[in-house]
Amino acid sequence: MAYIALYRAYRPQKFSDVVGQEHIIKTLQHAIEMNKVAHAYLFCGPRGTGKTTLAKIMAKAMNCINGPIKEPCCECEICKGIAKGTISDVIEIDAASNNGADDIRALRDTVKFLPAQGKYKVYIIDEVHMLSNAAFNALLKTLEEPPKHVIFILATTEPYKLPNTILSRCQRFDFQSISLENLNKRLHIVTNEENIKISEDALNQIAQSAEGGMRDALSLLDQCVSYSTNEEISLDDVLAVSGNISYYRIIDILNACISDNQTEAIVLLDKTLKEGKEAPRIANDIILFLRDVLLFKNNAIIEEKLMFTNQSFINLCNLLNKNLIYSWLNILNDSLNQMKFSTQKRAFLELAIIKMNDNKLNENANLLDRIESLENTIVLLTKNKGMNNNSNNISINNHNNSKSQYQINLPTDDAINKLKNTPKSEPTKEIEVNVNNISTNNIENLDYITIRDVEKILYDASKAKKERLNEIFKEIGEKYINIFVVQLLCRGHIVAATSNSFIVTMQDQSFCNRVMQYENYIKFKEIFSEYDYPLDDYICLPEAIWNRIALDYKMKYTVSNPKPVLENISIGVLKRKIPSNIGNDPIVSSVKELFSEENLKIVEE
Ligand SMILES: [Zn+2]
């Protein structure tokens, strides 16, 4: 008997066999039960997530001898025939190869005939975005007036390429990438049933390399079975077939970087390249690894990975601070971009690794961590003691209280020891920080928020959205009491809100610039998603600037002109920009200023 590829052999036959996509299955089954099946569905999502599989199961459920039924029997002639592809009522068309208007017209001519064996004719058009314009028009005619016995299921990885006229006539379902956990589960089942011996590491790596696609996972497993000459498929086998680099190797390389062992790092890199891994793949794998480190450090683990229980991984996480990881990510991203346009890919990767070895990066990152913890303290103190808003100074005094109860959250001892000239201090009683010194004057390539950016949000804003956002701000402010920028944001005043963006005013321009920073944007995105608010954009404005804009808006706004063009004024708040070089980072320079003696006074009892 001919060998059947694993992904074909293990293609789910029933709704209950499908891994993931629970919400879609539930909706489809409900529609069948309630006799409310639509005449056209659009299944969108990444490859290998089960779109055509689910389309075929749907065809079975509608046509099964016992159907339409929530779950096809898979025993009757029709179910079996659909699985084998021998039932003429279920028509699968690959739009990649049949994309002309004639193909669709031929299809249209068959639509009017009643089903031969089953109850419904089901047309499954895969990769529907590949159809030509003429073909879309022909299809549209059919979708407009479909006979009762016809169901269209269109599948695509690129729904944005479809004309609106098609989109509006289909019930749309968005398929999600399959989670690592689900991929793992399925791989376990398949390897058990097929008696394939494979180490846990190797299996986990297959799931990771598949990036959310079941078909890719099973195909990779298939390849590993053919490749491996050992009794058990090992991690090395999988890495050789997939071209990925093992996380053990990444841990070694990064450990060499933080211990300033350039030679070791380069030797390890050389070894990896000699094993046949490509430079861009290596850079990309390290980026993904660092992302996992960040998630792990922030307790924001989305999916459990075997790696997270590995002691050498945990040790490395403890050694890396967030700001160092950000600067490494920048270096690697830059290097990946440079590789795109160069034949010297290897040289760029080596350069990146050498840059990552730079000890200054580590020191700067420590400084950034230290200022952040100081800021957290200031917020805590100001929250308790009230903040003097009239001057440029934030002063927190503890005269009234004889017991010293405020403590600065200093970084770990290790981090402090690396900081030169900054002695470890006891719990403090008085801190004075000159906020005006957090200047933005030394930023190069200044790019400011414009009135057009403000208009974009204003035009879309509504009162209801603002009220909802005010509630979210309140909750976030109470929950993230230790995060300085969150406290800054939540003390701001929301003046406009849409379903994914807002404008907030603050007293001080330097606060606006601070909150606008890219890393904070990323942080907020994460936090707001917890409150079902898919944050896409926000603008912070100094109150005085906003007052001018609001006045202009009120004067020009009429029912017939709900989107008035506003006066082009200078706003003075910097646009969000992905930091490119930590050495030029305005925070670093302001931290240095901030730490000079005039501005920071730590008084001991
Ligand atoms: Zn059946």
Cα-to-centroid distance, 29 and ligand 1 (Å) = 15
Residue 57 CA to residue 69 CA, distance in Å, equals 11
Backbone angles phi and psi of 382, in degrees to 5: -65, -35
pLDDT tens across 212-226, in order?
Answer: 889 889 999 999 998
The pLDDT of 153-167, averaged and rounded, is: 90
Among the residue ranges 438-442, 449-453, 554-558, the one predicted with the least confidence is 438-442
Cα-to-centroid distance, 71 and ligand 1 (Å) = 9
Q: What is the Cβ-side half-sphere exposure of residue 252, based on CA atoms within 13 angstroms?
A: 15
pLDDT tens across 254-306, in order?
Answer: 999 888 777 888 888 988 888 778 888 899 889 988 988 888 877 666 555 65
Residue type, 444: E
Tokens representing residue 175 in the block: 């398929």
Cα-to-centroid distance, 62 and ligand 1 (Å) = 9
Look at residue 406 in the predicted model and tell me its pLDDT: 33
The answer on pLDDT for 523 being more than 50 is: yes
Cα-to-centroid distance, 476 and ligand 1 (Å) = 52
Look at residue 359 in the predicted model and tell me its pLDDT: 63
Cα-to-centroid distance, 75 and ligand 1 (Å) = 5
Cα-to-centroid distance, 259 and ligand 1 (Å) = 64
Category of 577 on φ-ψ map: left (φ > 0), alpha (ψ -120 to 50) or beta: beta
Tokens representing residue 124 in the block: 């499954």
Domains and CATH numbers, the chain: 6-174 (3.40.50.300), 180-242 (1.10.8.60), 247-357 (1.20.272.10), 451-576 (no CATH)
The answer on pLDDT for 89 being more than 70 is: yes
Residue 158 CA to residue 128 CA, distance in Å, equals 9
How many Å is the maximal CA-CA distance in the chain? 93
Cα-to-centroid distance, 64 and ligand 1 (Å) = 4
pLDDT tens across 183-200, in order?
Answer: 999 999 999 999 999 999
Look at residue 305 in the predicted model and tell me its pLDDT: 61
What residues are neighbours of ligand 1 (ion), with CB under 5 Å?
64, 72-73, 76, 79
Residue 535 CA to residue 209 CA, distance in Å, equals 29
| Length reported for the chain | 605
Look at residue 152 in the predicted model and tell me its pLDDT: 94
Look at residue 122 in the predicted model and tell me its pLDDT: 94
Cα-to-centroid distance, 84 and ligand 1 (Å) = 13
Cα-to-centroid distance, 14 and ligand 1 (Å) = 10
The answer on pLDDT for 392 being more than 50 is: no
The pLDDT of 50-68, averaged and rounded, is: 93
Q: What is the Cβ-side half-sphere exposure of residue 458, based on CA atoms within 13 angstroms?
A: 18
Cα-to-centroid distance, 27 and ligand 1 (Å) = 20
Cα-to-centroid distance, 78 and ligand 1 (Å) = 6
Cα-to-centroid distance, 22 and ligand 1 (Å) = 22
The answer on pLDDT for 479 being more than 90 is: no
Cα-to-centroid distance, 239 and ligand 1 (Å) = 42
Taking CA 174 as the corner, what is the angle to CA 168 and CA 176, rounded to the nearest 5 degrees? 170
Q: Are 370 and 419 in contact (CB under 8 A)?
A: yes
